[in-house]
Structure 1
Amino acid sequence: MSETPVTSHRLLVGERRRLIVELVERQGRATVEELANKFGTSAVTIRADLDALARNSAIVRSHGGALPSANDTPLNIKETRWHAQKLRIGQAAARMIQDGETIILDSGSTTVEIARQIRQTKFESLTVITNALNIAMELSGLSQVRVMMLGGMLRQTSYSLVGPDAEQALAKLSADRLFLGVDGLDPEVGVTTPDPLEAALNALMIRVSRQTIAVLDASKLGQRSLSVITPVRNLDIVISDNSAPTETVEALRAAGVQVVLV
């Protein structure tokens, strides 16, 4: 039986492509025919969508369809995925921040939502350490927020600074809370990211922070990436969305991690 199209009216191109990426990631693959039926459009249109998404490294083209991207996906693509969930996670994370604290905001499409919430919150004083150019820009111009930018080598896919210079600068600092954005969280393997230099800097962020809070949408749970940042036992809190798999949530709680679902 063919699937009912996802909507009865014509989707904007960008919205359709975002939904295609989410479907491919959720299912592990998708065919042109399946996507054409899903979105009520032609196979020619779907092929054009897949070609455009593949050029941006959002998916991998396969014969007759698409597979999830195996690459370090650019941040501007990540920000379009699961945005409603990331917004709720950002709001929940921002509520944990106390006036006068020093926090670390790691780079990522979820942590930037925390920065946007900080802009809307009336803190009297806050210090934010970050290795992310876009987060520093998001918080610029706020007189009550002191931003400390780590140096280092720029990773263009994530707008983040990494490497020995970033680590040397961070080693001289301390923070009350770290909000850690991750690409994968597997209860057995730990917290992971595609880039070894990013993983090394993230591990140091954990060491200089009194509390570590991982922020990630549920699609990252159970996923594994190249470089391990830390075992899950070194996390204090995980904030995710309410579609998180029950067995993963239970495994995290069994490891002593507080899990907040929004």
Structure 2
Amino acid sequence: MLSEQRYKIIMDLLEQEPIVKNNALCKLMSTTRETVRRDLMTLEEKGLLKRIRGGAMKIAKGSAPSAYESFHERKQSQVVYKEHIAKEAVKLIQDGQVVALDSGTTALLLARELKGRFRSLTVVTNSLAITNELAGASGIELIVTGGVYKEDEEAFLSDFASLIFSKIHVDIFFLTTCGISVEAGVTYQRMDEIPVQTKMMKAADCTIAIVDSSKLGVNSLVRMCGIESIAALVTDVGISAEQRRRFEKAGVHVVVAPERSE
């Protein structure tokens, strides 16, 4: 079955029901879960539906994705995929290291995975959400940047929040972003998100992007850096073979988090 035929089946179903499930689509179209995920990702990128846990939902006619989504809104999006990514990313950390976590929602899920795993780990963050998550956690020394607090991001932003990074060394910076592509590199929705991430990157030996597959190939408003600044990408099984090939050709090591039972 051609991809265009599958797209039509999916959209026809969404005209009849507000939500479609991955399992039902696999049976209906006699195809794999990976193919269904890739189809839903393509249709979401076109603004035709919204992916949710285990399937997709219809977007109301006349509505359009906003240019900016708050931290709270982003926490509700792609949750299962982000959890898979966090569980895979934590395997890249060793005891005794210093890691930097930015204020992204996938970084928050990674912070949860850190608890109880390490005897001695230092975490540097500008995220109030991560600070609250890790405060008092055994085996974790927590360094908070401070700065100007932005409620809609639950984080400390501005140049002031980045001052500490000229004084410290970071082993791994786990970067989250609104979009990442070989052509445009790492991009964000707003300018004020970039200064802290840039300083984290400069302080780190390597930068690993932890990004769900809905953001792959997406170019947001403001460019932070080129793809050559990213050592590795941890993403979910929604990445296509072509996307993986392009990232790896550009020198980015790609780690795909395996699918877990939903």
- TM-score tier (shorter): 0.7 to 0.9
Tell me which amino acid in the other structure corresponds to 2:104: G
1:115 corresponds in structure 2 to 111
State which of 96, 103, 108 in structure 2 corresponds to 1:100: 96
Equivalent residues in 2 for 1:32-47 (5 A)? none
Relative contact order (C-alpha < 8 Å, sep 6+): which is higher?
Answer: 2
Post-superposition shift, 1:86? 0.3
Indicate conservation of the 8 Å contact 2:208/2:233, yes or no. Answer: yes
- Percent identity between the two aligned chains: 29
Aligned to 1:167: 162
CA distance in 2, matches of 1:85, 1:175: 26
Give unmatched runs, 5+ long, in structure 1: 9-21, 31-37, 40-45, 51-63
- Runs of 4 or more, structure 1, over 2 Å off, are 4-8, 22-27, 245-248
**SS of residue paired to 1:134:** helix
Give the CA deviation at 1:120.
Answer: 4.0
Q: 1:70 aligns with which of 67, 70, 89?
A: 67
Q: CA deviation at 1:200?
A: 2.1
Q: Which residue type is aligned with residue 80 of structure 1?
A: Q
Q: Distance in 1 between matches of 2:20 and 2:171?
A: 46
Task: Please give the secondary structure, in 2, of the residue aligned with 1:210.
Answer: strand
Listed one character per residue, the Cα deviations across residues 75-107 of structure 1 (whole Å, up to 9, x for unaligned) are 121111111110010001111110111100111
Matched, 1:88 2:107: no
Alignment map for 1:173-192 (pairs within 5 Å): 173-192=168-187
Query: 1:178-235 deviations in whole A, cap 9, x for unaligned?
Result: 1001110021111011222321221111111011100010000111112211111111
Task: Give the SS at the match of 2:220.
Answer: coil
Hey, what's the Cα distance between the residues in 2 that align with 1:243 and 1:7?
Answer: 17
Structure 2 unaligned spans of 5+? 1-8, 22-40, 50-55, 258-262
Kept after mapping to 1: 8 A contact 2:115/2:137: yes
Q: Secondary structure at the match of 1:110?
A: helix
- Do the aligned residues in 2 keep the contact of 1:102 with 1:128 (CA within 8 Å)? yes
The two structures have a TM-score, normalised by structure 1, of: 0.77
Counting only pairs closer than 5 Å after superposition, residues 6-45 of structure 1 correspond to structure 2 as 6=19, 25-29=44-48
Kindly indicate whether the alpha-carbon contact (under 8 Å) linking 1:29 and 1:68 is maintained by their aligned counterparts in 2.
no
Output the CA distance in 2 between the equivalents of 1:98 and 1:207.
20
Quick one: which of 181, 193, 199 aligns to 2:194?
199
| Alpha-carbon distance, 1:174 to partner | 1.1
CA contact (8 A) 2:116 2:139 kept: no
Figure out how many residues of one structure are paired with residues of the other and give that number: 220
Q: 1:67 aligns to what SS in structure 2?
A: coil
What's the RMSD between the two structures over aligned residues? 2.4
